[in-house]
Structure 1
Amino acid sequence: MLSINNLSYFIGGRALYENASLHIRPKDKIALVGQNGTGKSTLLKIINGDLAPSSGEVQKSNDCTIGFLNQDLLSYQSEDSILEVALEAFKDTLALQAEIDRVLAQMETDYSEEIIQKLANLQDRFEANEGYTIKAKAEEVLEGIGFSTVDLSRPLKTFSGGWRMRVMLAKLLLEKPSLLMLDEPTNHLDLPSIQWVENYLKNYEGAVVVVSHDRTFLNNATEITVEVSRQTLTSYAGNYDFYKTEKAGREEIQQNAFENQQQMIKQTEKFIERFRAKATKSNQVQSRIKALERMERVSEVVSDEVSVNFKFKFSQRSGRDVVVLENVSKAYGPIEILKNTSARIERGDKIALIGANGKGKSTLLRIIDGSEKIEGNREEGYNVIKSFFAQHQLEALDINNEILQELAQSGSNKSETELRNVLGCFLFTNDDVFKKIKVLSGGEKSRVALAKTMISEANFLLLDEPTNHLDMQSVNILIQALQQYEGTFVTVSHDRHFIKGVANKIWYIEDQEIKIYPGTYDEYIYWSEQQNTKNASSVERPKKEKKEPVVLKNQDRQALNQLKKELKLKEKELEALEHEISQTEHQKADLERHLANPNLYEKSTSIEKLNEDYQSLLKREAHLNLTWEALAEEIDRLQGEVLTLD
Structure 2
Amino acid sequence: MRIETEQNPYFCSMLSINNLSYYIGGRALYENASLHIKPKDKIGLVGLNGTGKSTLLKIINGDYQPSNGEIQKAKDCTIGFLNQDLLSYQSEDSILDVALEAFKETLNLQEEIEAVLKQMETDYSDEIINRLAQLQDRFEANEGYTIKAKAEEVLEGIGFSTPDLKRPLKTFSGGWRMRVMLAKLLLEKPSLLMLDEPTNHLDLPSIQWVENYLKTYEGAVVVVSHDQTFLNNCIDTTVEVSRQSLTTYAGNYSFYKSEKAEREEIQQNAFENQQKMIKDTERFIERFRAKASKSNQVQSRVKALGRMDRVDEVINDNISVNFKFKFSKQSGRDVITLEDVSKAYGDLTILKNTTARIERGDKIALIGANGKGKSTVLRIIDGTEPIKGERKEGYNVIKSFFAQHQLEALNVNNEILQEMVQAGSDKTETELRNVLGCFLFTNDDAFKKIKVLSGGEKSRVALAKTLISEANFLLLDEPTNHLDMQSVNILIQALQQYEGTFLTVSHDRHFIKGVANKIWYIENHEIKEYLGTYEEYEAWSAKQTPQAAVSAKKEKVAKPKVPKTDTEFSQLSKALKGKKKEVSDMELIIMELEEQKGKIESQLADPKVFEDQDKLASLNDNYQKLITKEKKFTADWEKLLEEVEELEMELSE
Hey, what's the Cα distance between the residues in 2 that align with 1:68 and 1:365? 35
Hey, what's the Cα distance between the residues in 2 that align with 1:197 and 1:185? 9
Residue 28 in 1 paired to residue 28 in 2? no
Hey, what's the Cα distance between the residues in 2 that align with 1:311 and 1:543? 52
Q: Which residue of 2 aligns with 1:301?
A: 314
Q: Which residue of 1 aligns with 2:146?
A: 133
Pairwise CA distance, 1:250? 0.4
Which of 244, 247, 251 aligns to 1:231? It is: 244
Q: How does 1:456-495 map to 2 (within 5 A)?
A: 456-495=469-508
Pairwise CA distance, 1:330? 0.3
Pairwise CA distance, 1:538? 4.0
Q: Which residue of 2 aligns with 1:528?
A: 541
Residue 204 in 1 paired to residue 220 in 2? no
Q: Which residue of 1 aligns with 2:200?
A: 187
Hey, what's the Cα distance between the residues in 1 that align with 2:380 and 2:556? 45
Q: How does 1:202-281 map to 2 (within 5 A)?
A: 202-281=215-294
Which of 377, 380, 387 aligns to 1:367? It is: 380
Q: Which residue of 2 aligns with 1:172?
A: 185
Residue 56 in 1 paired to residue 69 in 2? yes
Residue 385 in 1 paired to residue 398 in 2? yes
Hey, what's the Cα distance between the residues in 2 that align with 1:43 and 1:546? 63
AA aligned to 1:342 is T
SS in 2 for 1:23: strand
Pairwise CA distance, 1:295? 1.0
Pairwise CA distance, 1:278? 2.0
Structure 1 unaligned regions, length at least 5: 548-646
Q: Which residue of 1 aligns with 2:32?
A: 19
Q: Which residue of 2 aligns with 1:2?
A: 15
Which of 497, 520, 539 aligns to 1:507? It is: 520
- Are the aligned partners of 1:305 and 1:473 in contact in 2 as well (CA < 8 Å)? yes
Residue 450 in 1 paired to residue 463 in 2? yes
Hey, what's the Cα distance between the residues in 2 that align with 1:177 and 1:521? 35
Hey, what's the Cα distance between the residues in 2 that align with 1:449 and 1:33? 25
Hey, what's the Cα distance between the residues in 2 that align with 1:120 and 1:442? 56
Pairwise CA distance, 1:276? 1.9
Hey, what's the Cα distance between the residues in 2 that align with 1:492 and 1:392? 15
SS in 2 for 1:391: coil
- Are the aligned partners of 1:505 and 1:521 in contact in 2 as well (CA < 8 Å)? yes
Q: Which residue of 1 aligns with 2:301?
A: 288
Residue 149 in 1 paired to residue 140 in 2? no
Cα 1:375/1:545, change in 2 over 3 Å: closer
SS in 1 for 2:154: helix
Cα 1:131/1:522, change in 2 over 3 Å: same
CA deviations on 1:2-55 (whole Å, 9 max, x unpaired) are 000110000000000010000000000000000000000000000000000001
Hey, what's the Cα distance between the residues in 2 that align with 1:407 and 1:58? 46
Cα 1:110/1:394, change in 2 over 3 Å: same
Hey, what's the Cα distance between the residues in 2 that align with 1:341 and 1:165? 34
Q: Which residue of 1 aligns with 2:137?
A: 124
Which of 401, 424, 428 aligns to 1:415? It is: 428
Hey, what's the Cα distance between the residues in 1 that align with 2:428 and 2:67? 47
AA aligned to 1:451 is A
AA aligned to 2:214 is L
SS in 2 for 1:508: strand
**Runs of 4 or more consecutive aligned structure 1 residues displaced over 3 Å after TM superposition:** 536-539, 541-547
Q: Which residue of 2 aligns with 1:592?
A: none
Q: Of the two, which has the highest radius of gyration?
A: 1
Pairwise CA distance, 1:352? 0.1
SS in 1 for 2:49: coil
Hey, what's the Cα distance between the residues in 1 that align with 2:506 and 2:531? 17
CA deviations on 1:53-84 (whole Å, 9 max, x unpaired) are 00111110110000000000000011110000
Residue 76 in 1 paired to residue 76 in 2? no
- Are the aligned partners of 1:100 and 1:123 in contact in 2 as well (CA < 8 Å)? yes
Pairwise CA distance, 1:148? 0.3
- Are the aligned partners of 1:310 and 1:421 in contact in 2 as well (CA < 8 Å)? no
Pairwise CA distance, 1:268? 1.4
Pairwise CA distance, 1:522? 0.5
CA deviations on 1:246-296 (whole Å, 9 max, x unpaired) are 000000000000111111111112222222222222211111111111111
AA aligned to 2:44 is A
SS in 1 for 2:198: coil
SS in 2 for 1:22: strand
- Are the aligned partners of 1:311 and 1:481 in contact in 2 as well (CA < 8 Å)? no
**Which deviates further from its counterpart, 310-319 or 220-229?**
310-319
Cα 1:380/1:545, change in 2 over 3 Å: closer
CA deviations on 1:59-117 (whole Å, 9 max, x unpaired) are 10110000000000000011110000000000100000000000000001101110000
AA aligned to 1:66 is I
CA deviations on 1:120-171 (whole Å, 9 max, x unpaired) are 0000000000000000000000000000001000111110000000000000
Q: Which residue of 2 aligns with 1:316?
A: 329
Pairwise CA distance, 1:536? 7.2
Q: How many residues align?
A: 546
Hey, what's the Cα distance between the residues in 2 that align with 1:441 and 1:302? 24
Pairwise CA distance, 1:314? 1.7
Which of 47, 53, 56 aligns to 2:60? It is: 47
Pairwise CA distance, 1:185? 0.2
- TM-score, L = length of structure 1: 0.83
AA aligned to 1:18 is E
Hey, what's the Cα distance between the residues in 2 that align with 1:65 and 1:542? 53
- Are the aligned partners of 1:7 and 1:53 in contact in 2 as well (CA < 8 Å)? yes
Pairwise CA distance, 1:458? 0.3
SS in 2 for 1:37: coil
AA aligned to 1:103 is V
Residue 94 in 1 paired to residue 107 in 2? yes
Percent identity (aligned): 83
Pairwise CA distance, 1:474? 0.4
Hey, what's the Cα distance between the residues in 1 that align with 2:558 and 2:483? 59
- Are the aligned partners of 1:35 and 1:473 in contact in 2 as well (CA < 8 Å)? yes
Hey, what's the Cα distance between the residues in 2 that align with 1:75 and 1:476? 31
- Are the aligned partners of 1:313 and 1:485 in contact in 2 as well (CA < 8 Å)? no
AA aligned to 1:49 is G
CA deviations on 1:334-371 (whole Å, 9 max, x unpaired) are 11100001011000000000000000100000000000
- TM-score, L = length of structure 2: 0.82
Cα 1:208/1:271, change in 2 over 3 Å: same
Hey, what's the Cα distance between the residues in 2 that align with 1:3 and 1:484? 46
AA aligned to 1:260 is N
Hey, what's the Cα distance between the residues in 2 that align with 1:261 and 1:528? 53
Cα 1:515/1:546, change in 2 over 3 Å: closer
Hey, what's the Cα distance between the residues in 1 that align with 2:106 and 2:326? 62
SS in 1 for 2:474: strand
**Which deviates further from its counterpart, 255-264 or 114-123?**
255-264
SS in 1 for 2:414: coil
Hey, what's the Cα distance between the residues in 1 that align with 2:75 and 2:219? 15
Pairwise CA distance, 1:537? 7.8
Aligned alpha-carbon RMSD (Å) = 1.5
Hey, what's the Cα distance between the residues in 2 that align with 1:4 and 1:150? 44
